[in-house]
Amino acid sequence: MLRYFFILFLVIGYFPSRITFGKPMATEGSALAQKGRSSVIGQPNNVTIKGKTDSTYLFEAGTIYAYTYDDHISYREKELSKSLLDAKGNFSLNFSVSETTDIFLIVDNAKAEMVVEPDKTYNIIFSAKDSNAVNTLSSTNPVEIVFAYMGNDELNFLISDFSSRYETMLEDYRGNIARKESVIFKKIDTLETLFKKKYAAFNNLYLDNYIYYTFASLDENITLENKENVYKKHIAGRPILLNNPDYMAFFNQFYSVTASYFMSNSKMISEVNSKQNFSSIMEFFKQSKLLINDTIRETVMLKSLAEYFRYPEYKAAAVLAILDQAAKHCKTPENRKAAENLKRKLSVMVEGKPAPPISFKDMEGETVSLADLKGKYVYLNFWTTFCSPCTQDMTLIPGLKKTYGGKIVFVSISLDKKPEAVKNFLKKPPQLSPEQSGSGWIFLHADNYKKVKEEFNVLTVPAYYLIDSKGNVLRSPAPKPADIELELMNIKKKK
């Protein structure tokens, strides 16, 4: 399971560590003192994360964000809290959770993960990025969190402690595991029992599930048994934990082959594209003995539709129609939410759908929304001043604007960290400055790349889109300036 191995490899130094610790110190409200409380879902309780970022971030970002995943099928990121960094990098994040929750903290493009429990306060240091880390828009760099005042019964400590011991076990038996030697199965069963006994004293259901599904994932990877036996052992008759990341990581791994089998079936392709009916798809999946349970079948269906959405065999509109039905008719609230999140996520910048009406600041600090531009076509691009292909492409826009500016508005949205970078850049090539290029070319600045990524599906720059006069996406992605003229010519001919 990637989640586990990410942590495990961190422990032995393959990547910067997910969690590191200062000297363990007694802390109020420790996991042991609050036995099992974190495993019970109740009313939301406040969580506070106080701390300090490394000084290097003060030159790059002014805000730290806390996120979690809204569900473990769409993996839509949900903002929990944000805090401005003061002059020394201090911050304080406050939010509510009703159960133990995996979260991640983001500063600039640095990311650190941790687990929070209801009604607890954490004191941390958000460490610097690796000096050799590659900075890109679409990927984050994992960094360390250093916990202060942490007892050795605190949940993050226990997770890291188990992960380290588990990785040592894998190293000791890596050869046996790779060869799937029969002797290894008994050894792993014995070690799993010992691990469970060691951590049972902490009476923390989240930790128990973490350990159980780590071993379940290993079992699924190396077992010589068929899928049905693994299903009976780890899924049938056990709680379906749709909100638990460890259960869902194992679940997604286990059902990946099943999903591929169904979605590559020509009958399934016809069912989706022609019938576009939630109930008929659910009935089709019921052919598998592993999908008898309604909730499990719903979950696998949603996972499958998400994975195959962009395959050319499947019509995007058909998949979205089924997801719309699933958001209303799935039996569990978790799956209804996941279906709604998938529909929203997969609808981003789909041709024929409305473009996001979100607002940005122009170079004078005034707010501009794409919705304000209805009535004209919009050629939209996302760029940065440090992207050479972006800036080279943009030298062609004044010529396009001169020819087609009567019917088309050109909008360039910068993803630079600070708007000053854009203002300084526009002073250099005179033909790009608003004063020289004239009206019809709007320069905007996006101060939150994650928001742009979510709303516009911008994974890299340059990115281009064409929006029609009704505010709907016409081309996604659109051709770059060197190749767009034929489309603009056709728009100009329209009455």
List the beta strands (DSSP E) in 262-351: none
* Domain 44-149, classified CATH 2.60.40.1120, yes or no: yes
What count of other Cβ atoms lies within 10 Å of the Cβ of residue 279? 11
| pTM, rounded to two decimals | 0.81
Q: Are 46 and 119 in contact (CB under 8 A)?
A: yes
Domain extents in the chain = 44-149, 159-224, 255-347, 354-493
Q: Which pLDDT does position 28 carry in this prediction?
A: 35
- Residue 265's alpha-carbon distances to 232, 274, 309, 458, in angstroms, are 26, 14, 15, 32
What count of other Cβ atoms lies within 10 Å of the Cβ of residue 163? 23
Q: What are the residue ranges in the chain where pLDDT is below 70?
A: 1-43, 133-138, 429-439, 495
d(CA 182, CA 254): 21
Q: Which pLDDT does position 123 carry in this prediction?
A: 97
Question: What is the three-class DSSP state of 477?
Answer: coil
Q: Which pLDDT does position 275 carry in this prediction?
A: 94
Q: Which pLDDT does position 41 carry in this prediction?
A: 55
Q: Which pLDDT does position 23 carry in this prediction?
A: 33
Q: Are 408 and 378 in contact (CB under 8 A)?
A: yes
Q: Which pLDDT does position 272 carry in this prediction?
A: 97
Q: Which CATH architecture has domain 354-493?
A: 3-Layer(aba) Sandwich (3.40)
Cis, bond preceding 477 (omega within 30 deg of 0): yes
